[in-house]
Structure 1
Amino acid sequence: MNNSVTTLQQTRPLLPLRLFNGCGALLEKMHFPARRTLATDLIEAAKRHCGLDDFGGGDFFEALSRLLESCHSEARLSWIGKIALRTNVVQILCSRLQMEQDRQLYPEIGHQEIRQPLFIVGLPRSGTTLLHNLLAADPEHRSPLMWEVMAPSPPTVVDEKGRIQRAAQSCHYFNWLAPTFRYVHAVGAELPQECVGLMTATFLSDQFDTMYYVSSYRAWFFQQDLRPVYEYHRRFLQHLNFRRPAHRWILKAPTHMFAMPALLSVYPDALFVQTHRTPVDAMASVSSLVTILRSAFSDNVDASAACREAIHYWSETMGKFLRERDRLAGDRIYDLEYDAICRDPMAAVRQIYEHFGWSLSPEAERRMRGLVAGHAQRQSGNHRYDLSEFGSSPEEVFSAFAPYCQRFGFSQADDAKRWSSRRAPSRLQTKKRSAFISVTGNNDL
């Protein structure tokens, strides 16, 4: 990968995809538009595919309808994007149908207890993925894996290898759709998955807003009661716990900060780790991620709009979270700085264990150290970004995040000095940093 330009500047669909999308656009100009996708059509398609018709409790029809309408009117999906949307929704609906049948076949699923789960939160691109991977390596811990989220049924070991292989194939297809995304975020069938994947069957999930530009759906979504979403999240964990019980669940999604009241109503004994990074880096990085991801499904992605959305949403979310976290007892949450995680991931892990009174076994430490070393050898590249390419500035970001920056000691002057030194790193700095940034295949941890 060319290190002289940003990852976003090098993002372009492969030639076969450009040709396919071009043919689709030409057909639409010739008045052969793709058929509009309706919620009723996809629901019936899922029922026919699975031979099932019980989606369980909880109404998702309005959420799905609003998502599809927003995709139709705002997302400017390419032909690949329209196919991907339909395929993804039908797969999600099928999983919901199958999981509901599983709960009837295995009533014990509903009796699974999820005690004191740990939620890793913080601004996106602030080290949450690294901690998720490391903490999940402890044999005492469990995190949802991508293949489990994609194919949770049946809740047994039946066809486990086949499900892993199919998930790996899906990851391969995605990497073909978005070749530069692997520099931004690691995608793998057996890697820990964010919680947004457990919530998609409610169609009230931040995952859709990340994949597509759906501003009206986004505005409606943020006004909804999210307790039913977390109740479904818990049902999903019970499903996974039935197959392989966990002493402790390690969960992760920055978007949990937006819904703390709903989360705590379902998980009243939850524990938290909050990671911290200067918002300038976080907003530049997440804007790059969203733009690159949306570019896999649309040929008309507005990078500046993605950045404006990110700054507004995450500054509002952080303000809401800080008010809620002040109600938590101090022993239920631990703070970690991104730079501290970069310097010594294992020291960061030990601090978490000490804070919560956990025991770090030799086997857990061996696995974690092996994870760091192994990924360092397989590093695939760096995620490069610059806030200016999104039409924003450090001043705008610091203004939006002023309360957060003041509380946790981030200053614009320090940030400017750090960026200046970063532009010309020494060989020693680069070598030291590469051992840690590669855990997730990018330099955002």
Structure 2
Amino acid sequence: MAERIDIADLTAPHLTDAQKQMIAAAEAVPFFLEENAVLDAARQATGLSDFGSDDFVDRMRRLIDEWNGDTRAYAVKRHFLMRYLVRYATNRLLIHDTLKKHPEIHDEQIDRPIIVVGMPRSGTTHLLNLLGADTRLRSTPLWETYEPVRNPLEPDAPGGVDPRYARCAAQWEASRTANPLAAAMHPMEPDHFHEDLELMCADFASYNFEWIARSPKWRDFYLSTDQTPHYEYMKTCLKLLQWQDVQKGLPRKRWVTKCPQHLEQLPVLKAVFPDATVAITYRDPVEVIQSAITMIAYGERNFYPHIDTQGLLDYWSDRVETLLRACVRDRDVWPESQRIDVPFEQFMADDIAVVRQVRAKAGLPETGQANREIADFIASHPRGKHGQIVYNLERDFGITPAQLRKRFDFYFEAYPFLRRPSR
């Protein structure tokens, strides 16, 4: 039985000494994000200067302007965001340099990928990990999506470890120090399979930026912009990763990836990956929202003097509604021959059966080895091994589940196979 964790101080945090010291150290030195500082840091890290098309600069400026305008945030928040921006700019330099030197990468084919689509916190990660345990498929571990091309200027870490892997592991340990419940909320170990949209971030695109900082201006810009070029950029990055495998003597494999953003970009996803099989997960939106905003509120204790619970509730309730209305509108762009629907309760009741259904839809034969690999993954990754968070919407966010659920009547009506909770 998983330990139940009730975050009693979610809205009025009691900070650890380490958290207080981190905040104080950053506040002692005023810091704001600067475009040139980001680009110069990337150039210095790589020795490169060609970013390719400069259209990304406008998108980066939008983020910098909005994030600098967050006057509630501690300086440590901007330091945190600076690391993200520098990493993405560095990745862009390395990706573009590799593509220039090896134009044959563009000839790689991404053949019949399996793409998991669904709301955040709706079982997408678990389904991706189960499918990805099958070694016939290729997925993207966190360390590789964070840094898809190794910087040739960097030596191995101790023990001959890839410095990208070592850096990701160190970041995870630092995150667990800053947020002791991080593992219970959303494990992010280096080998953890991650979302494909991370690869778009070197193009300074995707809704991923909303997760690292609430960004309504960016949200509006993103939703008003055709995302096809950025999905094509992501596909090129998958080709690059596949090409790197071949250079190491590894076989080409079918990809299995996932991302919640695809819910509101289903036509774009279809245009860029026309031969994909998509598995769409469905869950009570209230369960999704309470999980997401509790996780974000807990992380914000390191970045803000006060937790804006009403702002989090409003932003992410609206964001999830936008995702779901787009899904209801566009789901059928994917024909049943390429789509499988995965209700959350059905998946939790028999996850192996769902994996078999997805593989069958994708034309991937059953094998004893694949089933053993998935069974081994389940045995080594028991659900709730880091504890189970207890959610209390009414206490922490001032709304009952039933009140919040009313705005999603359209979703339950569109998908009658979904069980609507009575509470």
What TM-score comes out, normalization by structure 2 length? 0.89
- What's 1:439 paired with? none
- What's 1:19 paired with? 21
- What's 1:433 paired with? none
- What's 1:181 paired with? 182
- What's 2:168 paired with? 167
| Alpha-carbon separation, structure 2, partners of 1:73 and 1:22 | 20
- What's 1:317 paired with? 323
- TM superposition shift of 1:60: 1.0
Alignment equivalent of 2:412, drawn from 394, 405, 418: 405
| Alpha-carbon separation, structure 2, partners of 1:161 and 1:264 | 38
Moved more, 271-280 or 127-136: 271-280
Alignment equivalent of 1:349, drawn from 345, 351, 355: 355
- What's 2:55 paired with? 59
Alignment equivalent of 1:259, drawn from 249, 265, 271: 265
- What's 2:256 paired with? 250
- What's 2:126 paired with? 130
- TM superposition shift of 1:90: 0.9
| Alpha-carbon separation, structure 1, partners of 2:25 and 2:36 | 28
Unaligned runs of 5+ in 1: 28-32, 418-445
User: 2:32 touches 2:68 (CA, 8 Å); kept in 1?
Assistant: yes
Letter of the structure 2 residue corresponding to residue 151 of structure 1? E
- What's 1:205 paired with? 206
- What's 2:274 paired with? 268
| Alpha-carbon separation, structure 2, partners of 1:400 and 1:75 | 31
Letter of the structure 2 residue corresponding to residue 394 of structure 1? P
Q: For residues 359-382 of structure 1, what are the alpha-carbon distances to aligned partners after superposition, in whole Å with 9 as ceiling and x for unaligned?
A: 122111101111111112981111
| Alpha-carbon separation, structure 1, partners of 2:343 and 2:100 | 45
| Alpha-carbon separation, structure 1, partners of 2:418 and 2:335 | 28
- What's 1:426 paired with? none
Matched, 1:367 2:373: yes
- Map of 1:52-91 to 2, 5 A cutoff? 52-57=48-53, 59-74=55-70, 76-91=72-87
- Map of 1:213-252 to 2, 5 A cutoff? 213-244=214-245, 245-252=251-258
- Map of 1:278-427 to 2, 5 A cutoff? 278-376=284-382, 379-388=385-394, 389-409=396-416, 414-416=420-422
What is the root-mean-square deviation of aligned Cα atoms in Å?
2.5
- What's 1:431 paired with? none
Identity within the alignment, %: 25
- TM superposition shift of 1:300: 3.5
- TM superposition shift of 1:18: 1.2
Q: For residues 279-307 of structure 1, what are the alpha-carbon distances to aligned partners after superposition, in whole Å with 9 as ceiling and x for unaligned?
A: 12111111112223344443443122112
Letter of the structure 2 residue corresponding to residue 263 of structure 1? L
Q: Segments of 4+ in structure 1 off by > 6 A?
A: none
| Alpha-carbon separation, structure 1, partners of 2:16 and 2:228 | 41
| Alpha-carbon separation, structure 2, partners of 1:395 and 1:382 | 22
User: 2:282 touches 2:418 (CA, 8 Å); kept in 1?
Assistant: no
Unaligned runs of 5+ in 2: 246-250
Question: SS in structure 2 opposite 1:273?
Answer: strand
Alpha-carbon distance change, 8 to 338 in structure 1, aligned in 2, over 3 angstroms = farther
Question: SS in structure 2 opposite 1:335?
Answer: strand
What TM-score comes out, normalization by structure 1 length? 0.85
Question: SS in structure 2 opposite 1:383?
Answer: strand
Q: For residues 206-264 of structure 1, what are the alpha-carbon distances to aligned partners after superposition, in whole Å with 9 as ceiling and x for unaligned?
A: 22211112222222222122112111111111111112254211111111111223222
| Alpha-carbon separation, structure 1, partners of 2:181 and 2:367 | 37
User: 2:137 touches 2:256 (CA, 8 Å); kept in 1?
Assistant: yes
Alpha-carbon distance change, 12 to 233 in structure 1, aligned in 2, over 3 angstroms = farther
User: 2:128 touches 2:257 (CA, 8 Å); kept in 1?
Assistant: yes
| Alpha-carbon separation, structure 2, partners of 1:58 and 1:272 | 33
Question: SS in structure 1 opposite 2:105?
Answer: helix
Alpha-carbon distance change, 24 to 377 in structure 1, aligned in 2, over 3 angstroms = closer
User: 1:145 touches 1:193 (CA, 8 Å); kept in 2?
Assistant: yes
